Chains A and B, each alone.
Chain A
Amino acid sequence: MKKLYRYLSPLLILALLLGSVSVSAAPVATGSGLVTTQAALSAERTDADRERIQEILSRADVQEQLIAQGVDLAEVDARVAALSDEEARQMADQLEQLPAGASAVGALLLVFVILLVTDILGLTNVFPFTR
């Protein structure tokens, strides 16, 4: 029984996600039946079907993470929709590790002294007065 659940639950999660995600992957074909450029490009690379599922999952994941990080609900959809497949995957996998441009540094005295010296050496640019 437990084994059954183990196989069943990912499928259920997937089914729920596919139903609820408002941003889905770009369609393979247009209304006229032509294959889209994006589908052709991703098919050139890898196993396209697996990647499509992966992409939908990672976009949902990014949405969730952004909301958890305090991004406005009204903005999340549009923000995720403007990402490329690769960017969405990158964000889903490592949002915590991605460098976030903010120009702020944790203030510690030792760090302060080291950075002061490296600033003077021209290796860093933390303190404006060293220039």
Chain B
Amino acid sequence: MSGRRFRQLLNARLAGVLLLALLTLSGCAATPRLAETTVQTLPRQVVIEGVPFHAQRDYQCGPASLAMVLNHEGVDVDVDALIPQVFIPGREGSVQPEMLAAVRRHGHVPFVLDNSFDALLTEIAAGHPVVVMQNLSLPAWPMWHYAVAIGYDLDAEEMILHSGEEAERSESFRRFDATWARSDRWAFVALKPGELPNGVSEQRALDAIATFEQAQSAEAALPAWVAFVERFPHSGMGYFALGNARHATGDHEGAVEAFRSSVAQRDDLGVAWLNLGLTLQAQGETNEARQALERAASLPGHWQTHATAALERL
């Protein structure tokens, strides 16, 4: 009798614990809040037209998602060609850095978005399909998944995604955000060089383009640097990068102009003075070159010794 009672008590307690755990869990998941300014500026409903859908096979949600965004950008590549470029057989999946790397290999610049719902919807409204990483399961038994967000409906509070084997799937904001939050809201867009995401920070854009340039070429990155200095006209580093890209593509006069803009924005940027001096020297403008190199040699930092050596060779 008392044994049965005890078991009943135990069962009741277990049920209570489970219920409590579930309540706590559901307490964490709420419909995501958007900033007031975002709500006012965004259209109520958006679906990006013409994003091709590729149903995933086996564990290939990574390559399938990549194919969708790249095809939408006009890159002619199919899932089968992307599998050997991102899939890791030993992990039976694709990891985030390699998703970005694959975008670079196909001549596009990957920008990881700010980890916010606002940034995601803003990019969709700008017509850019966004690759998102979700954990569809719980943190203890993760089920990592890539999908492509192609639209949203603020009134119905729904996301629209090309996901897995389903095209244009509707997912409530709440469920979507619960699964997306488990990847720290990781998302990226793949843009043509020359396009930038709306709210991207200066440093993030600088790094994204510099990495793209390293993986591709100065020629491929040149339009991206032009767009960068347009967006961030006070960035000394931006003009410096533009100068380098111009120089590498043979436009030495354009390079001098960009290096001058760079030091006009940041007089203490020794490396820009150094490259300005070296470019002028190669053009035979010895006097001007000397002035620039002297300035570079007077600035403490990593490039001071380079500048001093260049000055001695002059």
* Interface, chain A (partner B; CB < 8 A): 26, 30, 32-38, 40-41, 43-44, 48, 66, 68-72, 75, 78-79, 81-85, 87-88, 90-91, 95, 98-106, 108, 111, 114-115, 117-118, 121-126, 128
Q: What total of chain B residues lie within 8 Å of the partner, measured CB to CB? A: 77
Contacts of A91 in B (CB 8 A): 95, 97-98
Contacts of A81 in B (CB 8 A): 215
**Judging by beta carbons under 8 Å apart, are B135 and A99 in contact?**
yes
**Judging by beta carbons under 8 Å apart, are A37 and B137 in contact?**
no
Q: Which residue of A lies closest to B241 (CB)?
A: A37
B263 to chain A, nearest CB (A): 13
20 new A-B contacts at CB < 8 Å, known A43-B303, A82-B215: A32-B247, A34-B278, A35-B244, A35-B303, A68-B90, A71-B89, A75-B84, A83-B97, A91-B95, A98-B97, A100-B91, A100-B95, A101-B145, A102-B59, A102-B61, A103-B143, A106-B141, A121-B25, A122-B174, A123-B178
* Interface, chain B (partner A; CB < 8 A): 22, 25-26, 28-29, 56, 59, 61-62, 65, 84-102, 104-105, 133-138, 141-146, 164, 166, 171-172, 174-175, 178-179, 183, 206-207, 210-211, 213-215, 237, 240-241, 244-245, 247-248, 271, 274-275, 278-279, 282, 301-303, 306, 310
Contacts of B210 in A (CB 8 A): 37-38, 41
**Judging by beta carbons under 8 Å apart, are B95 and A95 in contact?**
yes
B53 to chain A, nearest CB (A): 16
B290 to chain A, nearest CB (A): 16
Which of B141, B237, B301 is the one whose CB lies under 8 Å from A105?
A: B141
B85 to chain A, nearest CB (A): 6
**Judging by beta carbons under 8 Å apart, are B141 and A41 in contact?**
no
**Judging by beta carbons under 8 Å apart, are B142 and A99 in contact?**
yes
Total cross-chain contacts (CB, 8 A): 196
**Judging by beta carbons under 8 Å apart, are B282 and A32 in contact?**
yes
The binding surface of chain B is classed by DSSP as helix
**Judging by beta carbons under 8 Å apart, are B244 and A32 in contact?**
no
A98 to chain B, nearest CB (A): 4
A33–B248 Cα distance when bound, in Å, is 11
**Judging by beta carbons under 8 Å apart, are B90 and A105 in contact?**
no
Which of A38, A75, A83, A126 is the one whose CB lies under 8 Å from B213?
A: A38
Contacts of A118 in B (CB 8 A): 22, 25, 138
**Judging by beta carbons under 8 Å apart, are B59 and A99 in contact?**
no
A120–B56 Cα distance when bound, in Å, is 24
**Judging by beta carbons under 8 Å apart, are B240 and A99 in contact?**
no
**Judging by beta carbons under 8 Å apart, are B59 and A103 in contact?**
yes
**Judging by beta carbons under 8 Å apart, are A123 and B278 in contact?**
no
Q: Which residue of B lies closest to A89 (CB)?
A: B97
A123 to chain B, nearest CB (A): 5
Contacts of B301 in A (CB 8 A): 43
**Judging by beta carbons under 8 Å apart, are B143 and A83 in contact?**
no
**Judging by beta carbons under 8 Å apart, are A100 and B93 in contact?**
yes
A43-B303, A121-B26 known; A70-B97 Cβ under 8 A: no
Contacts of A33 in B (CB 8 A): 278, 310
Which of B85, B206, B271 is the one whose CB lies under 8 Å from A75?
A: B85
Contacts of B105 in A (CB 8 A): 78, 82
The 8 closest A-B pairs by CB, nearest first: A100-B93, A69-B90, A102-B93, A70-B89, A87-B97, A82-B101, A84-B211, A102-B59
